[in-house]
Structure 1
Amino acid sequence: MATSSENTVINEIEKINKSNNYHCCVPKCSSNGRYDFNLSFHKFPKDEGIKKNWVVKIRRDVGPNFQISKSTVVCSKHFKKEDYTGWTPLKKRLKKDAVPSIFEWTDDTEPRRILKRTLVTPPGPKSKRQKCETMTSSTEPSTSREETLTAVPLYVEQEEEISKLKDQLNQKNYECAALESQLKLERFNVNRFSNDDTMIQFYTGFSSYMMFVTFFQCIEPSARNMLSKYYEAGETISLAGRKRSMLLIDEFFMFLCRLRVGLLEQDLSVRFNSTIQTVSRKVVTWANYLYLTLDEYQYIFQGKL
């Protein structure tokens, strides 16, 4: 029969374990603090180096499916006796540098048997002796090669795969940026001719790209609020309240291409990737706006267009 002191210890252990809701985080381990009274559960160390070693040993990867918190523990099944500095029925204390090392996948397995192959040459009708050849092959690998091979943790393989995928993603992003840059150069707009003053003069009549941009910056504040031909004369809704299909500076460039070179609206709709109706509306809107704006400042802009 158990003594009173032993009963007291047992009662204390049961009381502690009833409030213990720890579950061992090691794969294939089902230890539960409520039922395994004889086990202790240890939190991950604060030292980052030792903590990382714990993660490697238990074969877990820190990520969306596994996070280390105050309730993440490893049970005493996975530690050796020499890993403890002190042990009592109520508390087991680990050494600071202790690392779990006992797992289901580290159990010693039975050695594989050696296969023997024997080749026998049957004697001929006039032969005087039999020739037997015995070949023995071992399925065990050479020890020298075993020493050079090291087990690669699972998380290292996953990190290498993630690194490769990131490199591929960066390469694809670089290719997309290059294609987008090339598309901007091939698209018919004023930015395409920013380094070619001859083409700017041909399409707009301005002597250079800088002159074109300077003039546009002067009229831009009022141009953003110009009344669209799309609405009736009595309506007060402006283009500022609508989502533009192209940049305002490209609208101005398109209008000058129509005015200066005489490009047809169907041609402009193809060049600027728009509909004929939209091109017609924008050309009329810009014509009305510039007529009213430049008429007020005729003495300033006279002879410069």
Structure 2
Amino acid sequence: MGELSKKIGEHGERVVRNFLEVIGWSGAQEGESIICHDSEKHQRKKDSDRQTHGIDLFYSSKSQLQDFTLDNIVISVKYTSKPYPVNPSSKFKEHIKDLAQTVECFMGSDLRADNNESYEMTGITSACDTGVLFWLTNDKESDQNVVSKISSVQLDKELDFGSIHVVDNEKAAFIYNSVLFVKNNFKSKKLYFHYAFGASNYNDPDIKKYGSIIPVEYLTSSILPFRLIDESSEKVTFCISCAENFSEDSIARLLSLASDVSLDFTNDFVFLFPDYDPLIHEPIVNKSKRLLQERANTVKIAVHSLENDFRGLINE
């Protein structure tokens, strides 16, 4: 049993490492161990003080959504061959507790100090320490959206952490399928993640408008924004992939968002939905386009389904 558990765990870490490559998080450090700074509080078993915390994967990069900030990302991989529990709350709290305590001790670790020091001359003035829990299952028939079931769970008030993002099968599939769809269907264009601008990332001159690295905040977002740049003409297409099913409200919101965001670089839009069916939904798209009024004649809009089957050939 122990050997099988180890094999499943190693398989899960390989899956997540490859996923990190897809989202631009190349070079993540593996198998780091840090000293526990609160051995009694963090003990796993009663009367057995904890000495260390293991970090499955650690990734760090300059934030593109926060001025002068370094993102330190502590990643925990929980991978199982079994379905998600019917009632996942207790297992989720166990996973979160372990990761939160690891992040807490990471904040006082040599790993953090050494990593931050390597960015010392880059203009960064602060660091944000974030946990990411990849809670994944190899069981394809199980309920894939476990996050919705644990969204209202009350966590231990003694846990000390800033933020933790939880990626389940459904969220991982959405990100992976979105990136794969764009790469397979726009082969003449270079894919970049679009970085949203606001009050929190307005002053840093080294902040980019787009890049190959997905911000950690996007891992749990219901939309993924891309810039697709033609390598020969440099023409830009603004693409938004949406995790929600298609509706009149969702396409109207995305059209409004795309129009506001892209005024200075394109009028060419692509929208992706899990269930888009042109036979049923195209009239709704046309109606939403008309509501753009004077801009309706200047924009190019294409909508596709993330689900690949023969029905999608209508878009070819």
Larger strand proportion, structure 1 or 2? 2
Higher relative contact order (CA 8 A, sep 6+): 2
Structure with greater helix percent: 1
Larger radius of gyration: 1
Structure 2 length-normalised TM: 0.20
